[in-house]
Amino acid sequence: MSEPSKSVAELEIEDIDGVGPTTARKMREAGINSVMELATAVPEELAADLGGSKDSASNFIMAAQKLLRESGVLDNEFTTADVELEKRKSLLRCTTGSKALDELLLGGIETQAITEFYGEFGSGKSQICHTLCVTSQLPPSEGGLGGAVILIDTEGTFRPERVDQIARARGLNSDEVLKKIAICKAYNSSHLELVVKSLGKYIDDFKAKLIIIDSIISLHRAEFAGRGTLADRQQRLNGIMHKLVRTAEIYNVAIVVTNQVQSTPDTFFGDPTKPAGGNVIGHASTYRVYLRKAGTDRVAKIIDSPYHPYQDTRFTVNEKGIDDIEDSPKKKKDDD
């Protein structure tokens, strides 16, 4: 995977054929600040942002992709499988804090992928996010990604005190860890969409290797409550997921999103443990993990994975964040 080179960082969106000062200004207002961001834009959204046709938006996007290809940043349209395998080798895996959960995920959460954790309230979704904020900063030799974290909090549930506790319990310098977590509180769905659109710039700025969105659905779910607006909501969620998929791949970062479960009346006759957001989130997620409470433990189950065996595992939540049940001091005390 080639990282953006210096010359690419110096490219301006004005360098693209047909992009004049007015178009460039509109793009920047829409959160598109670089050729890379334009290359990964969604045509429908860009057309709306520019107030133009979808065709002309697509042309800008293709021109940006061409420019990046010529600079060697984007792979050519076709690759051969051996090159693809080589690219997969630059993939890194990050420990969740629990060996059992890591094993279920075949080594932890992956870069170039979106891992979705869904489950009911208290099932441990946000606890996983807090723990990953710490473990991802470990060097790759110790199971981390060796980079900073961008955390987009849509529910106001991020607690730096909890990160502090987890870092200390894991014997790390908590001050250093906290400094490398960039928090963004998204206050409505449009704000979230804008931040996601500009993720590339933030990844470069913060040197982030992990992006967390906790949760992906809550703002859209609250704002598009009536059934009449469901199609609109799905389209906008689709835009976000689409952008995330490409961001994970192009920047070689891990992306973790949390999702809620559907409840009545949405699924009055359906499965109450189904993730919210319908197929839009499911199709874009590389891995989906269903979490549920089982006493004081948690059970994680991999859903619809192309190559993970369909199985589940148990872990627990303690002062270290996510942890293995047998390593949990509380459990050991119980056993005494």
Ligand X SMILES: Nc1ncnc2c1ncn2[C@@H]1O[C@H](COP(=O)(O)OP(=O)(O)OP(=O)(O)O)[C@@H](O)[C@H]1O
Q: Given the rule CB under 6 A, which residues bind ligand X?
A: 119, 121-127, 157, 260, 317-319
Q: Which does 127 bind (CB under 5 to 8 A by kind): Mg ion, ligand X, none?
A: ligand X
If we measure between CA atoms, which residue out of 110, 137, 46, 117 comes closest to residue 249?
A: 110
43 prior amide bond cis, ω within 30: no
β-sheet with 181-185: strand ranges across = 181-185, 148-153, 208-214, 254-259, 113-119, 287-294, 297-303, 312-318, 321-323
How many residues interact with Mg ion (rule CB under 5 A)? 3
Q: How far is the CB of 129 from Mg ion (least distance, A)?
A: 8
| Residues 149-178 within binding reach of Mg ion (CB under 5 A) | 157
Is residue 168 a contact partner of residue 318, using CB atoms and an 8 Å limit? Answer: no
Q: Which is nearer to Mg ion, 292 or 331 (CB)?
A: 292
If we measure between CA atoms, which residue out of 140, 151, 137, 225 comes closest to residue 182?
A: 151
Q: How far is the CB of 161 from ligand X (least distance, A)?
A: 9
Q: How far is the CB of 126 from ligand X (least distance, A)?
A: 3
Which residues pair with residue 294 across a beta bridge? Answer: 297
Residue 207 φ/ψ region, left for φ over 0, alpha for ψ in the -120 to 50 degree band, beta for the rest: left
Q: Which is nearer to Mg ion, 157 or 174 (CB)?
A: 157
Q: How far is the CB of 156 from Mg ion (least distance, A)?
A: 10
* Binding-residue pattern over the window 107 to 146 for Mg ion, x denoting contact by CB under 5 A: ------------------xx--------------------
Q: Which does 131 bind (CB under 5 to 8 A by kind): ligand X, Mg ion, none?
A: none
Structure tokens at 112: 């170039």
Q: Which residues bind Mg ion (CB under 5 A)?
A: 125-126, 157
